[in-house]
Chain A
C-alpha cells in the first residue's frame, strides 16, 4: 500500500543487540516481593555483587540459534548412533576389554551429567542477574541432553555385555561410585557461587578437557564411533560451558576485591576435588584403552601444565595464583594410574567389571611413557602378580579399604616425594579421628569439618550393616556379608568382577566375533582357535 512506502525496512539486529535484548530486555525488578525473599541463597557465602549488568556472555547465543544448532547436533549424533547399531558396531571395537571402560563411564559418569542438570537448574533459579540465569538454564538443558544421549548410545552395548543394566542403582550404591556421586553432591549442596566456581571453572574449564579430548579421541582410535560421537557432541556444549566458567571468574573478581580470597579458596578446593575424581579417568586412559593415543602423564602435561599455565598466567592480574597442591598433581602424574589399577586388580571381586594385568607389549609402552617410575615400581609388581596367576593362586585382597573422608577414594596414594610410602593423614574433630588420602583432602576437611563429618562412606556403612539387600538375615548361618553387600550395590557376585580371562563378556566376545577378547593375550576359547 502507498502509505507503507515511507517505512524503511527494519534494520537487522546485530548479534550483540540481539543478545542484549534477550538478557536485559526480559528481566524485571520485583515490586510486590522483596528481592531478598526471592533470591534467598545469594548472600550467605559472602560474595559481593554490585552490578549484575556487567555480566557478559561471550557466546551471545540467542534462543533461536540455541535450538537450531542443538537440533542439528542431535540429528548428526543420531545418524551415527543408528549406523553404529545397524552395523553391529559393538563388535568392531578393538577388544572386549575396551567395553569395560564403558561400564565405568555409564555407571559412574552419566549420573554426574544428570546431577549437573539439577545443579544448573538451581542456579537458573537462584541468580538475580538475567545473563547468568539464561546461561545456567541453557546449560541445564545441555546437561540433560548429555545424560540422555549417553544412556541411549550405551544402551546398545547393554544388549550384549554384562554390568550395564543397573546404572542408576549402581551410581547410588557402589562403593567406588560414591567418589563421583559425592563430588557432585558436595558441589550442589554448597552455595550458588561456590557451585559455579566449582563446576563451571575448576571442573569444566580447568579439568574436563582431560576427560573429553584424549579419552574420546581414544574411543575413536579403538573403533567406538558411538562413544566418540556422543562425547564430541557433549563436548561441543562443553566449550560453551567452559567459556561461562572463565566469564564467571572474571565477573566475580572484577565485582569486588573482597571476592578474591573466597574465589581462590574455592579454586584450591575444587581443583583438588576434581583432580582426585579424574584419577578414575587416568586409569581408563592408561589401562582400559587397548590402543592408546597418549598417556595420562602426557595429557596432564598438555592440558593442565601448558593450558592451565596460560589460564593462571592470565588470572594473575586479579591476584589469583595457580591452585594449591598443583605441584603434587605433577609429581603424581607418573604414578596415579598405576596405583589405581593395582587397587582395582586386587579388589576385582568387588567391582562391577573384570580386570586384567597389562600385557608384555603394554608394559613396554608404560616403560617408554613412564621412564622414571614404571620399571622401578610397577613392572616388578605386575610381573609378580602374573606369576601368581600362572600358578593358579592370583593375588586378591578381601579386606575393605580405609577411605578418605573427603574424596572417598581408598587411601591408596603415595607420598608426593616417595612413591614407596602410602600417604596417610588424619585429624581429630569433636573427639573422633578422620582419615585422608592427601594434604589436599585434609585441608578441605579442616576448612569445613561440619560438612564433611556427614560424608556417607560406603566402607563404614558396609561394616555398620547398612548395605545389605532388603530381607537379608545377617544371623543366618550361611550369611556372607561381602556377597550381600555386592547384591545391595547391584553387582552380581561371580559375574560382574573377577579376571577378564574368566569373564562371560570375554567368552561371548570370542564366540560372536571370532577374535580374541584380549588383543595381546591370545584366544581363551575354541571359537577363535578354529578360525585363526
Chain B
C-alpha cells in the first residue's frame, strides 16, 4: 500500500541552503516548495531523500549531511540517516 501522507523539512532561507533546496527538488520530483519570511518549507508525499552527492554537486565542495543541523528548522516523518542519504518517510 503506497503512502501519500506528507513529510516535510523546513530550512532557513539563506545562501547555505540554496543548493540543498535545489538538490531536494531535483531528487524528489513531487517535492513542493513553500517560501515564508526567512524560512523554506518543503513538503513531499510519503518520502523525501536528501542525497549527499546531489548537494555536493551543487555546492562544489564536500558536504557532511550532518551539516544540515546548522540550518534545519523542523521536519516531519521518521528519519533514516547514513553518510550518503538523509531520508524522511512514513511507514504506515
A contacts, CB < 8 Å to B: 14-16, 58-61, 65, 69, 72-73, 76, 209, 212-214, 216-218, 220-221, 228, 232, 235-236, 238-240, 242-243, 246, 250, 293, 306-307, 309-311, 313-314, 316-317
Contact = CB atoms under 8 A, between A and B. Distances in A.
A76 B44 CA distance: 29
A69 B68 CA distance: 9
A217 B75 contact: no
Nearest to A220: B38
B32 interface: no
A239 B84 CA distance: 20
Nearest to A238: B74
Contacts of B66: 61, 65, 69
A246 B78 contact: yes
Contacts of A238: 74
A242 B8 CA distance: 13
A243 B81 CA distance: 12
Interface in B1-52: 5-8, 10, 12, 36-39, 41
B81 to A, nearest CB: 6
In the complex, which of the residues B6, B76, B82 has the most CB atoms of chain A within 10 Å of its own CB atom?
B76
A148 B70 CA distance: 18
B6 A307 contact: yes
Given A61-B66, A213-B10, A15 B83 contact: yes
Nearest to A58: B79
Contact of B79 (A73, A212, A220, A243): A243
Contacts of A15: 81-83
A-side binding surface: helix, strand, loop or mixed? helix
B21 to A, nearest CB: 16
Contacts of A16: 82
A310 B82 contact: no
Contacts of B81: 15, 58-60
Contacts of A72: 70
Interface of B: 5-8, 10, 12, 36-39, 41, 66-67, 69-83, 90-92
A217 B90 contact: no
A352 B37 CA distance: 29
Given A239-B69, A310-B6, A313-B90, 18 more contacts: A15-B81, A15-B82, A58-B81, A59-B81, A72-B70, A209-B74, A213-B39, A216-B38, A216-B73, A236-B71, A236-B73, A240-B69, A250-B78, A306-B6, A307-B76, A309-B5, A313-B92, A314-B90
B73 A232 contact: yes
Nearest to A237: B69
A314 B77 CA distance: 9
B74 A14 contact: no
Contacts of A317: 91-92
Contact of B70 (A58, A76, A293): A76
Contacts of B74: 209, 212-213, 235, 238-239, 242
Nearest to B12: A232
B90 A310 contact: yes
Contacts of A243: 75, 79
Contact of B5 (A61, A212, A250, A310): A310
A323 B12 CA distance: 31
Contacts of A212: 73-74
Contacts of A309: 5
A175 B83 CA distance: 50
A219 B57 CA distance: 34
A239 B71 contact: no
A236 B82 contact: no
A86 to B, nearest CB: 20
13 contacts: A16-B82, A58-B80, A212-B73, A216-B73, A217-B38, A217-B39, A218-B37, A243-B75, A307-B76, A310-B6, A310-B7, A310-B90, A314-B5
A410 to B, nearest CB: 31
Nearest to A65: B66
